Amino acid sequence: MEFKAEAPLIVQGDRTILLEVKHAQYEEARDLLARFAELEKSPEYIHTYRISALSLWNAASAGMKADEILLGLQNYAKYPLPDNVVVEIREAISRYGRVRLTPDPNDPTRLRLMSDDALLVMELARNRYVKPYVLEQIGSHTLQVPASRRGHIKQALVKAGYPAEDLVGYVTGTALSFKLRDISRDGLPFRVRRYQQDAADIFWADGSNAGGAGVIVLPCGAGKTIVGMAAMATTQANTLILTPSTVAARQWREELLNKTTVEESLIGEYTGQQKSIRPITVSTYQILTHRKRGTKGKNLPLEEEFPHFKLFNTGDWGLIIYDEVHLLPAPVFRITAELQARRRLGLTATLVREDGREEDVFSLIGPKKYDVPWHDLERQGWIAPAICYEIRVDMTEAQRLEYIMAEKNQKYRVAADNPEKLDIMDRLLKYHAGDRILIIGMYLEQLERIAKRYDYPIITGKTTVREREKLYEAFRSGEITTLVVSKVANFSIDLPDASVAIQISGTFGSRQEEAQRLGRILRPKSDGRQAYFYTIVSKETVDQDYSANRQRFLTEQGYRYYILYNEEIPGALPHTQQRP
């Protein structure tokens, strides 16, 4: 058995992979694994990845072949690959697209589920997930299924282990003619970056039935909105854009007005503030999931339970864009299952969902079509270089006793609200005087105390949309240089000059939140400044444990967290010497 002592990883029979962090080839191996495996644990010296069927199907949808995956693993593995892992990788990759959904030429109310493997068709006809949708078998290679259940059938096939290639096609929607500008309305040159155009082109796939549904994964600050606009310019049809918040919806509207030839009268806003449906309509997940009072649990038709779902069928949309698709609420999955005839583009910085519904994103929005490692774009100068710190703070004896005596569900609140964190805050704010700073947290009382302590403006869920927009604009203009923000600022907020984020508390172990919070400071700086992301945690508590879990996705993307202790701040910030 060949043993390569100099190699950085070990592939195990249970499809886990151990990667040495201190190894000279760590970054190369990490970038390979990020394409087809999921990071599970990221302690200081050994990172643990796992290969799953879904991670392999997403890799296959993005063009990776089994041989490419196996060759990469062989190049970096200390030991020969376990035989079962080789077989399982080949089998999982081969399952992607082995069954196809196509129109039935003789009956528009039916679709054909086809495979070249007659035994597989027989197996699927008897599968407990797929069987309820089978109407009839035509020959040995074809099943007939109802066209109205297209999305549900794709979900069933994923559960059965055979994700379908959907070749049914799409309605074109009402035509809408517009172009992207060369000079934006604010007078600045505008060009779609190469990777943004590549992402849009891969999604469109020359207008074929093989394209038109999928997810684009790009870092915060890399211009996912531009990808969406490029896809719209290619589709040339009425478009519905779904966003996480009213502020995000209005930013989409401003970007469209600034960078396209679309007239203002053609863009509508469907939010809690106003309900205007136009050829391009921007809405929010919050308004769409507003449930009619008294309907919960009554198993009513979707549009009776969620009255605003009528928006999905009002505009004859040729394209639906799901911004921050990892936040898609469960009711929107339900309606999306019935919208498979419309092109669907998901935009996100991470496919991680804390509710575990990545399979539903895959089957209902579409597979991952395009993904660029964060560090690749950082090296090319498209997003700001960032350094991440976790600063571990002691608790006083009295605080420690309170923590020990607290009920399990209260321990994080006690640890996260440790007053000793404020001493670190004082030192970091002094160190970064003159920078644009975001102080981010989860607990409103904690944030309000911080805002009062430093006399900084604060944005929470209680802040009106008008006041939020006013404060964000003051931050952009430099009128204010520090904002205290709750999780309402996690998503789709464009603050290009923010260069420092100080996280005082987070939403337990949320990996997606960590990625979004770092994303607030990744917009490239006009002067090339470094970005700094600090997380302050209480040492040896669940606060520290949750922080380790939150870091997993960003570690997978190439970000290293430097661990410091309260007595080392700010003197031991060795990597900040890169500051201009």
Query: Which element (helix H / strand E) includes 438?
Result: strand 437-440
Domain spanning 194-372, CATH architecture: 3-Layer(aba) Sandwich (3.40)
Residue 229: the pLDDT is: 98
Gap between the Cα atoms of 503 and 496, Å rounded: 18
Report how far apart, in Å, the C-alpha atoms of 554 and of each of 36, 81, 222 are: 16, 27, 15
Given a contact cutoff of 8 angstroms between Cβ atoms, the answer to whether 244 and 327 are in contact is yes
Task: Please say whether the dihedral angle defined by the alpha carbons of residues 246, 250, 255 and 256, taken in this order, is positive or negative.
Answer: positive
Residue 548: the pLDDT is: 83
Closest to 441 in 3D by CA, of 501, 522, 352: 501
Task: Please say whether the dihedral angle defined by the alpha carbons of residues 39, 41, 45 and 51, taken in this order, is positive or negative.
Answer: negative
Domains 194-372 and 382-578 share a fold: yes
Gap between the Cα atoms of 59 and 370, Å rounded: 10
pLDDT string in tens for the chain (580-residue length): 477 888 999 999 999 999 998 899 988 898 899 889 988 777 668 888 999 999 999 899 888 999 999 999 999 999 999 999 999 999 999 999 899 999 999 999 999 999 999 999 999 999 999 999 999 999 999 999 999 999 999 999 999 999 999 999 999 999 999 999 999 998 999 999 999 999 999 999 999 988 899 999 888 888 999 999 999 999 999 999 999 888 889 999 999 999 999 999 999 999 988 899 999 999 999 898 887 776 676 777 777 788 888 888 888 999 999 998 888 888 888 888 888 999 999 998 887 776 778 888 888 999 888 887 777 788 888 888 888 898 999 999 999 999 999 998 899 999 999 999 999 999 999 999 889 999 999 889 999 999 999 999 999 888 888 898 899 889 888 899 999 998 877 665 667 678 899 999 887 667 777 877 887 888 877 777 788 999 999 999 998 988 887 887 777 777 778 888 877 776 656 454 443 2
Starting at the earlier edge strand, list the strands of the sheet with 561-565.
Answer: 458-459, 482-485, 437-440, 500-503, 531-538, 386-393, 561-565
* Token pair listed for 138: 């035509």
Closest to 566 in 3D by CA, of 550, 546, 544: 544
* Token pair listed for 174: 């009402």
Domain boundaries, the chain: 9-95, 99-166, 194-372, 382-578
Report how far apart, in Å, the C-alpha atoms of 545 and of each of 34, 537, 542 are: 23, 9, 5
Query: Which element (helix H / strand E) includes 453?
Result: helix 444-454
Beta bridge partners of 240: 281, 320
Closest to 309 in 3D by CA, of 292, 325, 296: 292
Residue 579: the pLDDT is: 34
Residue 115: the pLDDT is: 96
User: 337 in the Ramachandran plot: left (φ > 0), alpha (ψ -120 to 50) or beta?
Assistant: alpha
382-578 CATH: 3.40.50.300
Residues in the chain: 580
